């Protein structure tokens, strides 16, 4: 700062005295890029991804121990898709098993943490006011935050899928895939279906992400927003279990989550999958608008 005196005075700034060049004046991806890198550089984000990566490892080892290397059939267990019995025959089924195991709680909980903290955390630490006077623009900032949360949805799903594929390939044989409908497809096509399923699972999280973002605009405490979002998730998951509430259940965001198994039929049953995606879009629209309405009129007093 000692050099601040006189001589240096005019030089601070960029060689762009006029309003910045037109190309840079458009909405620009700078903020989104900064948002993504900032989120993924946080120790907490990496820890969440680490936990998600560990789930397939645990399932894989458990299955391996239980079957003792014997290719026997574990018996088709009740309600959920019975992928687990197939894992010993084909490691690819560990991908489906792991996604089915993490989708009800682990994945949405991780999304709830990231989405809940996105606005509230910055409001609490005060960095939000400096982003807004930069000026990031409230709509632009909210969109960047939502897009980053979505990026995290995909990253989290991918981490589970890739970890499961690696563990599956390591512990079990890989090969042709027998679909739920009984038909057999090659391993290559099986891999493609796994990719499609991962995409559908990631998109299934769009609704929670929007809900978390909305909650995040309501408070200046990141922890409170995370806890509220996760609490809501658990409540809704419980409500989805009561038969007495069957009238409202089709409107609960997790209701069609496990329908991704329908992608393993031949021909694919699209009905429930599309309903799921439609419901997620509805949640994204409703809570996204609510978040926008709240955030663009909110007094930033911290």
Partner 1 sequence: MEEGRTGPKPWPGAAEGAPVVETRGLTKRFGAQLAVDGLDLVVPRGSVFGFLGPNGSGKTTTIRMLMGLIEPTSGTARVLGEEMPRGTRRVLPRVGALIEGPALYGFLSGRDNLMRFDAADPTADARTRRARVGHALDRVGLTSAAGKKARAYSLGMKQRLGLAAALLQPRELLVLDEPTNGLDPQGMREIRTLVRSLASEGTTVFLSSHLLDEIEQVCTHVAVMARGRLLTQGTVGELASSTRGRLAVTTPDTAEAVRVLKEHGVNDLAVLDDRVTGELPAGPATELADLNAALVRADVRVRAFGTERASLEDAFVALTGEGFDVAG
Write out the binding residues for partner 1, residues 127-186 only, by CB under 8 A.
Answer: 127, 129-137, 140-141
- Partners of 185 in the beta sheet? 177
The reply to whether 50 sits near partner 1 by the rule CB under 8 A is: no
Smallest distance, Å, CB 284 to partner 1?
24
> Is residue 18 a contact point for partner 1 (CB under 8 A)?
yes
Q: What is the b/e burial string over 14-24, where b = at least 16 CB atoms within 10 angstroms of the residue's CB?
A: eeeeeeeeeee
By C-alpha distance, which of 229, 205, 202, 233 is closest to 216? Answer: 229
> How far apart are the C-alpha atoms of 226 and 294, rounded to whole Å?
18
Quote the least distance from Cβ 143 to partner 1, whole Å: 12
Phi-psi region of 186 (alpha: psi -120 to 50; beta: other; left: phi over 0): beta
- Binding to partner 1 by CB under 8 A, coded x per residue (else -) over 118-137, reads -------xxx-xxxxxxxxx
What does the H/E/C string look like for 80-125? CCCCHHHCCCCCCHHHHHHHHHHCCCHHHHHHHHHHHHHHHHHHHH
Shortest reach from residue 103's CB to partner 1, in Å = 30
Verify binding: residue 270, partner 1, rule CB under 8 A: no
User: Does 17 sit near partner 1 (CB under 8 A)?
Assistant: yes
Minimal distance, residue 23 CB to partner 1, in Å: 9
Residue 236 near residue 248 (C-beta atoms within 8 A): no
| CB of residue 156 to partner 1, shortest distance in Å | 20
- In the complex with partner 1, which residue's Cβ is closer, 16 or 65? 16
Q: Is 294 in the site for partner 1 (CB under 8 A)?
A: no
The reply on whether position 300 binds partner 1 by CB under 8 A is: yes
Instruction: State yes or no: residue 65 binds partner 1 (CB under 8 A).
Output: no
Site size for partner 1 (CB under 8 A): 51
* CB contact burial 230-248 (16+ within 10 A = b; e otherwise): bebbeebbeebeeeeeeee
Site string for partner 1, 24-43 (x = CB under 8 A): xxxxx-xx-xx---x--xxx
CB of 224 vs partner 1, minimal distance in Å: 19
Quick one: which of 94, 88, 73, 66 has its CA closest to 173?
88
- Report the alpha-carbon distance of residue 114 to residue 238 in Å, rounded: 22
Residues in contact with partner 1 by CB under 8 A are 1-6, 8-21, 24-28, 30-31, 33-34, 38, 41-43, 125-127, 129-137, 140-141, 297, 299-301
């Amino acid at each position: 700062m000692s050099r601040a005196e006189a001589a240096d005075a005019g030089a601070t700034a960029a060689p762009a005295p006029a309003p910045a060049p037109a190309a840079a004046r458009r909405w620009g991806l700078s903020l989104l890029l900064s948002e993504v890198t900032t989120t993924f550089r946080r120790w907490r984000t990496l820890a969440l991804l680490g936990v998600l990566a560990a789930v397939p490892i645990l399932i894989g080892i458990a299955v391996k121990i239980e079957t003792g290397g014997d290719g026997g059939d574990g018996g088709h267990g009740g309600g959920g898709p019975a992928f687990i019995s197939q894992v010993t025959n084909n490691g690819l089924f560990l991908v489906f098993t792991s996604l089915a195991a993490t989708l009800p709680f682990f994945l949405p909980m991780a999304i709830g943490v990231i989405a809940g903290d996105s606005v509230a955390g910055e409001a609490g630490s005060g960095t939000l006011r400096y982003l807004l006077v930069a000026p990031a623009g409230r709509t632009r900032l909210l969109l960047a935050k939502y897009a980053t949360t979505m990026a995290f949805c995909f990253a989290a799903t991918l981490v589970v899928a890739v970890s499961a594929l690696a563990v599956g390939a390591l512990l079990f044989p890989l090969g042709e895939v027998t679909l739920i409908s009984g038909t057999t497809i090659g391993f290559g096509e099986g891999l493609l279906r796994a990719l499609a399923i991962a995409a559908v699972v990631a998109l299934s999280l769009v609704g929670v992400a929007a809900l978390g973002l909305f909650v995040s605009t309501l408070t200046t405490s990141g922890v409170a927003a995370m806890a509220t979002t996760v609490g809501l998730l658990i409540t809704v998951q419980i409500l989805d279990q009561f038969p007495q509430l069957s009238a409202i259940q089709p409107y609960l965001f997790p209701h069609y989550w496990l329908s991704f198994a329908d992608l393993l039929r031949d021909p694919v049953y699209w009905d429930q999958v599309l309903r799921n995606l439609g419901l997620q879009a509805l949640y994204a629209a409703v809570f996204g608008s609510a978040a926008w309405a709240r955030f663009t009129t909110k007094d930033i007093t911290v």
